[in-house]
Amino acid sequence: MDATHEGLTGAEARGDLAGASPQALADVPCQLEVLPDGQESLVFGDVNQFADLNHQQGENIYGYQEDCGLVSVQDVLGQFGQSLTESDVVEHAITHGECVTDASGGPANDGGTSPQSQAQVLNDYGVPAHVETGESLEDLASQVEQGHGVIASVNAGYLWDDKTYVGNGHDNNHAVTVTGVARDPVTGAVQGFYINDSGDGQSGQFVSAATMEKAWLGTGGIAVVTDASHPEPAGPSGGGTAPSSPFPGPFAPQASPSNPFSYSYPSSNPLTSPVQPLAGPAGNPWAE
Amino acid sequence: MSAVEIPAVTPVPTAYSRLTAAIVAHPAVRAELPVEFSSSFPVPTLRLGRPAWAAFAGPASRRRGQPLRLWAPDRWWALDQSGRTLVLYALVSAQPFSAELEPGPVEISPPAPDVASYDEDQRALAELMDSAAPAFFTQSGLGKPGRAALLEHLSVQLVGPALVWYRPLAPDFFAWLEA
């Protein structure tokens, strides 16, 4: 994740992908990448920037270790410009009765949250969010590509390829933030996602679509999604709420009539040839 | 993290696998259950005065490369036989399912060598449950070998020492299995 270009927004690239209608999307960075398996990919999302927001869970003064949901909330709040420590968020959740505080086994087992509680904590901090149930990986991808903060409830066993943590197989027993989407540059098919995982402290990890299918969709497709898109750091038109998605589904928000964005789209498709440079005033958008 | 390629598995869901999904996905459960907790496999029981499926959940510790550690359940719930209607949802502190519960922790380290093998073990459990549950609910049918096979598979391949919480959750079912 090191080839960010500034000449092409996610909305612009998505507009030409696989014939998708070029509706205005929230602006997220888009870059050409090579996936771990060698495939080329168009990656949508602030993966690099948001990677800095993640850390190993359990860094709080209360000794709470099982707080992946709250650390994910801290991550999303950081995406929206709020710099908080894990202790800040845990303290808030304790004060407002939004996390487990009396688990058997002692404080190390405290800090757990339901998706509803995660959304509530985000709401408390002024980042309205809600819980949604996705029915496909496209539903999840759509939210990330529109610049929403996303916390996915996943099965740690399937995510980590560790049979120890699969449990009953339908258990979503871990929370991670989803910061990027990898799409096939030619077909637009979802190849995978980038996540921040407080369970191991690793950030910007690529997870294949097959793994996410089992770990997230197969365990209910639950996600906490912010109502608004990320603030626009350097976009052409500033921040705002997300307009409609070209990918219909339960995740797709309604178009905002007050959306101030307007985008221009490449007149030719730069993506039918994965490494074809995009001509334009900004030069080659794939170049660093 | 490197790409983890897990083959997409699309087996025909058995009644038990659908039930397992339903008992974890019930909206009331989802609204309350911390994601960090561990949910049990559902087991059939008649203890609530009707055929039902019961499950419990409690604190869990997951550290990569280490066994799963579970502590005593703090909640339990049950759906009716169809898997659609919530019969009960209770915190153990308010409505215990047993007078005494082993506090834990217990360590769970399934013998399956990998995720694919573990999934096979889950599928085998589902097939055994599909045979056993109707017989249990009607108190008829399944012979001792079938009951013993289910008990051994559940305890050895999947839940291990956590059986100390499954038995008091559905004492009638386990008594039937061991009869």
pLDDT for B115-138, tens place per residue? 999 999 999 999 999 999 999 999
pLDDT digits (tens, 9 = 90+) for A164-181: 999 999 989 999 999 999
- The rounded distance, in Å, linking the Cα atoms of A232 and A235 is 5
Chain A residues whose CB is inside 8 A of the B105 CB are 105
Compute the mean pLDDT over every residue in chain B, rounded to the nearest whole number. 90
Q: Above 50 in pLDDT, residue A288?
A: no
pLDDT digits (tens, 9 = 90+) for A1-22: 433 333 455 555 555 554 443 3
- The C-alpha angle with vertex B73 and arms to B71 and B76, in degrees rounded to 5, equals 165
Query: What is the reported pLDDT for A233?
Result: 60
Q: Is A175 at the interface with chain B, CB within 8 A?
A: yes
Task: Work out the pLDDT band at A193, boundaries 50, 70, 90.
Answer: very high
Query: What is the reported pLDDT for A32?
Result: 94
For A45-144, where are the E strands, in sequence order?
A: 129-133
Identify the top-confidence range among A68-72, B12-16, B19-23, B66-70.
A68-72
Q: Above 90 in pLDDT, residue A269?
A: no
- The rounded distance, in Å, linking the Cα atoms of B169 and A222 is 27
A270 token code pair: 């730069």
pTM listed for this prediction: 0.83
Query: What is the reported pLDDT for B142?
Result: 83
* Nearest CB neighbour to B61, from listed A66, A207, A220: A66
Query: What is the reported pLDDT for A14?
Result: 54
pLDDT digits (tens, 9 = 90+) for B63-118: 888 899 999 999 999 999 999 899 999 999 999 999 999 999 999 999 999 999 99
Q: Is B25 at the interface with chain A, CB within 8 A?
A: yes
Q: Is B7 at the interface with chain A, CB within 8 A?
A: yes
For B10-160, where are the E strands, in sequence order?
A: 38-39, 43-45, 52-58, 60-61, 68-70, 75-80, 86-91, 106-108
Q: Is A113 at the interface with chain B, CB within 8 A?
A: yes
Check CB contact under 8 Å for A162 and B25. no
Reported ipTM: 0.90
Query: What is the reported pLDDT for B8?
Result: 47
